[in-house]
Amino acid sequence: MLIRRYCKTTLFLLFNFFLVANTLASDFVAVKSSKAILYEGPSESTKKELIITEGYPLLVMVSLKDWLKVKDHEGKISWIKSSDITTERTVMTLKPDSYIYSNASSDSIKLGNVEESVALKLLSVLATDGWVNVKSESQGIDGFISANDIWGI
Query: Domain ranges in the chain?
Result: 26-86, 90-151
> Full-prediction pTM beyond 0.85?
no
Task: Give the number of other CB atoms < 10 A from CB of residue 99.
Answer: 19
Task: Give the number of other CB atoms < 10 A from CB of residue 92.
Answer: 21
CATH domain 26-86 topology = SH3 type barrels. (2.30.30)
CATH 2.30.30.40 fits 90-151, yes or no: yes
Are 26-86 and 90-151 in the same CATH fold? yes
Kindly state the helix (H) or strand (E) to which residue 151 belongs, with its residue range.
strand 150-151
The 10s digit of each residue's pLDDT in 13-64 is 444 444 444 444 459 999 998 999 999 999 999 999 999 999 999 999 999 9
Yes or no: say if 71 and 77 are a contact pair by the CB < 8 Å rule.
Answer: yes
Task: Give the percent of the chain with pLDDT over 90.
Answer: 74
Phi, psi of 12 (to 5 degrees): -60, -45
- Return the DSSP state at 139: T
Phi, psi of 11 (to 5 degrees): -65, -40
Beta-bridge partners for 48: 39
Q: What value, to the nearest 5°, has the Cα angle with vertex 52 and ends 128 and 139?
A: 50
- pLDDT for 15 equals 45
Yes or no: say if 58 and 85 are a contact pair by the CB < 8 Å rule.
Answer: yes
Pick the closest to residue 102 from 141, 152, 153 (CA basis): 141
